[in-house]
Amino acid sequence: MVSHAITLKDIAKQLNVSVSTVSRALSNHPRIGLKTKERVLALAEKLNFRPNPMAVNFKNNKSRNIGIIIPELAKHFYSQLITGAEQLASRHGYNVVICQSNENTHKETILIEALLHSRVEGLLICIANETIDAAPFVKILNSGIPLVFCDREIAGLNISSVISNDYQGAFAATEYLIHKGCKRIAHLAGSENVVNSQYRKQGYVDAISKHGLTYQKIIYTQYDKSQAQVAMRQLLLATPRPEAVLCYNDYVAFDAVEIIKENELEVGKDILIIGFADEPIAQYMTPKLTTVLQPAFAMGEQAMEILLLKLKEGNKAREQMSKILDTQLVIRETA
């Protein structure tokens, strides 16, 4: 009884042929005679031989691995994005290596280096919120590895991306509040450095301007819970107080709702709140959160679709292929 995994060398030894002959026979090489092929295949089946995929991929200079870097695994938005990407990759015979940057630019750079050293064939990256340096991504492109941004991108960098229509989502949400009769609408923004935060802020500003409103209040939260809560307290102390708040994402909205309740005000009546993303908890909290739905699964899937096309076509693929997916206002109880 064989106590180890059968190798090409084991088959070659039993048949008294070279390892290269066994390898070529198993891959149906035309230079190997029919009888030799039959002998090799018969013994391989008898010994339950299974080719080592890592060895095959190494020989072909292919790892069949794709690296994915996201800011946070815990958020449902990113888990859905990963699911969309992974399922498509799997159907095309690729594995995904998932890494988490924890919204840390330095860690993100380390992860990129690690994935490149592990010979991934392509990279799908949702950049950290403070990432502004293009150098690590230019290095990826210069190494010949296909790269696609998802959800967030760096402005002015000619890299393929799939994002949601953050501008239109924020514009529609703000206009909805205006149609509800709100004249004082504030915006708890994300980071000044993040492109999708800029798009959402601009959507808010343009909707305010379109309807001729004079009240405009923007506070940056930097995605931090304590900062979001401090920002909401500032808004409650302001004179006049805002009638509604558009939040950068659902988590900022959750913090805003918490502070409003602490001040014994009624969310959805005294102050209207709208989030962004549509995390699952949004529909179960009290009151249920009105928010802008981002199609996370489709974003991941379509980003992977572009990456796979680049892997398939190589140098023939267009340098930049980008998509902007529609958002949808989900009306519940907070607005």
pLDDT digits (tens, 9 = 90+) for 166-193: 999 999 999 999 999 999 999 999 988 8
Tell whether 284 and 176 lie within a shared domain: yes
Whole-number CA gyration radius for the chain = 27
Give pLDDT, residue 316.
59
The answer to whether residues 73 and 116 belong to one domain is yes
Answer whether 71's CB lies under 8 Å from 101's CB.
Answer: yes
Structure confidence at residue 317 as a pLDDT band (50, 70, 90): low
Sign, Cα dihedral of 281, 284, 285, 288: positive
Task: Please report, for residues 171, 189, 225, 287, the alpha-carbon distance to residue 254 in angstroms, rounded to integers and kept in the order given.
Answer: 21, 14, 9, 11
* Residue 57 confidence (pLDDT): 53
pLDDT band at 1 (very low <50, low <70, confident <90, very high): very low
pLDDT at 7: 84
| pLDDT tens-digit readout, 109-132 | 999 999 998 889 999 999 998 898
pLDDT of 63: 73
pLDDT value at residue 204? 98
Indicate whether 146 and 211 sit together in one domain.
no
Same domain, 289 and 187: yes
pLDDT 10s digits, 191-206: 888 899 999 999 999 9
- The residue-averaged pLDDT of 212-235 equals 91
Q: Judge whether 256 and 292 are in contact, CB under 8 Å.
A: no
Q: How far apart are the two ends of the chain, measured CA to CA in Å? A: 71
pTM above 0.85, yes or no: no
Burial code (b: 16+ CB inside 10 Å, e: under 16) for 46-57 equals eeebeeeeeeee
The span from the CA of 257 to the CA of 267, in Å, is 7
Q: Are residues 283 and 192 in the same domain?
A: yes
Domain-located, residue 56: no
**pLDDT surpasses 70 at 61:** no
Residue 27: the pLDDT is 78
Residue 208 and residue 104 in one domain: no
Domain that holds residue 30: 8-51
- Cβ density class 297-314: b for 16+ within 10 Å, e for less: bbbbbbbbbbbbbbbeee
Mean pLDDT of 248-275: 96
Is the domain of 173 the same as that of 149?
no
Task: Examine the pLDDT at 56 and tell me if it is beyond 90.
Answer: no
With cut-offs at 50, 70 and 90, classify the pLDDT of residue 60.
low
Structure-model confidence comparison of residues 8 and 160, the more confident one: 160
Q: 311 and 198, same structural domain?
A: no
Residue 134: inside a domain, yes or no? yes
DSSP string, 280-294: GGGGTSSSPPEEEEP
In a shared domain, residues 235 and 319: no
Q: Which residue has the higher pLDDT, 327 or 23?
A: 327
Is the same domain home to 84 and 143? yes
- In this predicted structure, which of 13-27, 222-236, 308-322 has the lowest mean pLDDT? 308-322
Provide the pLDDT for residue 272. Answer: 98
Residue 17 belongs to a domain? yes
Which CATH number do you get for residue 311? Answer: 3.40.50.2300
Write the DSSP string, 68-113. EEES-SSSHHHHHHHHHHHHHHHHTT-EEEEEE-TT-HHHHHHHHH
Instruction: Please report whether residue 75 resides in a domain.
Output: yes
- Is 60 within the bounds of a domain? no
Q: Which amino acid is at 302?
A: Q
pLDDT at 52: 61
Residue 47 pLDDT > 60: yes
Residue 23, pLDDT score: 82
Neighbours of 22 (CB within 10 A): 26
Of 56 and 334, more confident: 334
Report yes or no on 335 lying in a domain.
Answer: no
90 is written with which tokens?
């799997």
Is residue 57, in this structure, part of any structural domain at all?
A: no
Residue 265 and residue 116 in one domain: no
Bridge partner residues of 304 (DSSP) = none
Mean pLDDT over all residues of the chain? 91
CATH number at residue 19: 1.10.260.40
Check whether residue 283 and residue 300 sit in a common domain.
no
Query: How many domains in the chain?
Result: 3
Inter-residue contact 302 to 124 (CB < 8 Å): no
Residue 58 lies in a domain: no
